[in-house]
């Protein structure tokens, strides 16, 4: 086997709950709660309601936000899809993607309908291990520029979590990871920019493929000798940086370098929105957005791509800095309600989006991935100018949100489908998850 495959397999098989630092366990529980909130909140969207109602299969795995039960693969697909539709799921800036939502739905489904109860400690261990493998492949890979990261390395993370849950040995894990690496999607980056909502299913499919990889492994299927190196070093990417993938593995846990989102849109919008909120809080004149003449945003190159002033649907709107700035100013909020409902057809929002421009600042681009800077300049019709800049996004490991802020976000999402009492009970259960002898009861509320 190769160095990375040997190391990954050993890490997955040998990591025990007691080996994981307390701060990583605490962070993982916050990530799991965030995933649940994003899934339940996303399940309220019309296309998710229709998708869920179209499922006729029966089983033991729950669809969060619904009373429906289905098979494990289908539950993973639906929950993973629901978790991305609102653009509120956590992420990892160095992996340039969302490990949590690629691991949690598959792992949750795998614990339901089993003959033996899965403890909270075993669940947390499998989640942290799966997150670790997903994030490390992501940070070591330079995806082709036209690819979307959803549905790529996340498949291997989901499979790694299932392998850890089922306590496979190192040889078995290597085979499972090799199979999983060949089940990635040919994802298109244009979907997010053009509002192709099939993009929301990429994460769901990745979770589903994690289960398929395990099923194929158990049936005796095999993969390449080094599927990770082959796929992520020569198919979807021209290079797989082994040293970066393995750096401090088992010492530095990637859950501790994640970020959380409070703005309900693409992460590349967030620096600009953080700067905008500085201006909103400082200048009362912005309470009247009709007096704004123009908004200029400078940021890094990934943010500069989000320049659509008239997005065709709400997915495209979540990937539009002009729309994000405009709906935030009009609604005095950047939460979910500003990116759902009739916001896309609000003439005041559209008029203000048409006055907003975004351009790349090469000096800001050079600061990636450690920082995500932006500068916002607002010119009023009377000639006054307001300016604010930020060096990094709120909510990342350098400038984290408080636990209270994260719970407020969770409750705002979960109560879109659940009662306040159930939402609160599930959150409290997740925060004490290591104490559960049967993890499925934690999600019953």
pLDDT reported for residue 224? 95
What are 443's two structure tokens?
């999600």
Cis peptide leading into residue 367 (ω within 30°): no
Rounded mean pLDDT for each run of 10 residues along the chain, 445 residues in total: 91 98 98 98 96 88 93 97 97 96 98 90 98 98 95 98 98 98 96 94 98 98 96 94 97 97 95 97 95 97 95 94 97 93 92 97 95 96 96 89 97 98 98 97 92
Determine the Cα–Cα distance for residues 339 and 356; give it in Å rounded to an integer. Answer: 17
Beta carbons within 10 angstroms of residue 168's beta carbon: 21
pLDDT reported for residue 2? 87
Nearest to 275 by CA among 386, 185, 181: 386
The CA-based dihedral angle spanning residues 338, 344, 346, 351, taken in that order and rounded to the nearest 10 degrees: 100
* Exposed / middle / buried, residue 234 (Cβ in 10 Å: 0-12, 13-18, 19+): exposed
Give residue for tokens 């050079």.
366
Buried b (16+ CB within 10 A) or exposed e, 135-167: bbbbbbbebeeebbbbbbbbbbbbbbbbbbbbe
pTM: 0.95
What are 388's two structure tokens?
């604010």
Are 12 and 173 in contact by the 8 Å Cβ rule? The answer is yes
Nearest to 275 by CA among 360, 383, 363, 391: 391
pLDDT reported for residue 367? 95
pLDDT reported for residue 114? 79
pLDDT reported for residue 361? 97
Strands of the sheet with 385-390, listed across from one edge:
356-360, 292-299, 374-380, 385-390
pLDDT reported for residue 1? 52
- Helix/strand/coil for 313: coil
Cα dist from 76 to 82, 269, 408, whole Å:
10, 28, 26
Are 279 and 386 in contact by the 8 Å Cβ rule? The answer is yes
Determine the Cα–Cα distance for residues 138 and 103; give it in Å rounded to an integer. Answer: 13
pLDDT reported for residue 271? 96
Helices (H), 141-252: 154-165, 170-181, 190-194, 201-219, 227-234, 242-246
Determine the Cα–Cα distance for residues 85 and 223; give it in Å rounded to an integer. Answer: 32
């Amino acid at each position: 086997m190769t160095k990375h495959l040997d190391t990954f397999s050993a890490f997955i098989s040998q990591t025990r709950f007691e080996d994981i630092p307390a701060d990583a366990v605490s962070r993982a529980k916050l990530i799991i709660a965030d995933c649940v909130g994003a899934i339940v909140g996303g399940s309220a969207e019309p296309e998710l309601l229709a998708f869920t109602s179209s499922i006729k299969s029966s089983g033991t795995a729950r669809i969060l936000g619904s009373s429906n039960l289905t098979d494990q693969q289908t539950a993973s697909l639906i929950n993973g899809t629901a978790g991305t539709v609102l653009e509120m799921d956590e992420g990892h800036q160095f992996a340039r993607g969302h490990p949590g939502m690629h691991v949690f739905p598959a792992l949750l489904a795998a614990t339901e309908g089993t003959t033996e109860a899965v403890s909270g400690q075993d669940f947390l261990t499998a989640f942290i291990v799966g997150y670790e493998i997903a994030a490390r492949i992501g940070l070591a890979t330079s995806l082709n520029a036209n690819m979307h990261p959803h549905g790529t390395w996340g498949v291997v993370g989901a499979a790694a979590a299932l392998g850890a849950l089922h306590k496979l040995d190192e040889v078995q894990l290597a085979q499972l990871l090799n199979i999983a690496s060949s089940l990635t999607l040919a994802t298109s980056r244009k979907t997010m920019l053009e509002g192709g909502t099939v993009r929301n299913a990429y994460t769901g499919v990745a979770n589903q493929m994690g289960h398929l990889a395990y099923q194929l492994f158990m049936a005796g299927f095999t993969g390449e000798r080094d599927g990770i190196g082959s796929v992520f070093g020569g198919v979807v990417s021209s290079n797989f940086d082994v040293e970066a993938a393995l750096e401090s593995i088992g010492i530095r846990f990637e859950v501790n370098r994640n970020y959380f989102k409070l703005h309900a849109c693409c992460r590349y919008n967030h620096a600009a929105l953080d700067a905008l909120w500085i201006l909103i809080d400082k200048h009362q004149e912005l309470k009247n957005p009709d007096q704004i003449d123009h908004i200029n945003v400078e940021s890094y190159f990934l943010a500069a791509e989000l320049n659509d002033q008239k997005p065709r649907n709400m997915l495209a709107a979540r990937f539009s800095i002009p729309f994000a700035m405009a709906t935030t100013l009009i609604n005095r909020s950047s939460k979910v309600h500003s990116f759902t409902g009739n916001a896309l057809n609000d003439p005041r929002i559209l008029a203000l989006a048409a006055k907003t421009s975004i351009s790349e600042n090469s000096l800001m681009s050079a600061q990636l991935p450690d920082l995500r800077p932006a500068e916002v300049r607002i010119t009023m019709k009377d000639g006054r100018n307001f300016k604010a800049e930020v060096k990094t996004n709120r909510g990342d490991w350098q400038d984290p949100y408080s636990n209270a802020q994260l719970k407020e976000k969770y409750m705002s999402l979960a109560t879109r489908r659940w009662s306040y009492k159930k939402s609160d009970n599930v959150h409290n259960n997740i925060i004490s998850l290591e104490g559960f002898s049967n993890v499925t009861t934690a999600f019953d509320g």
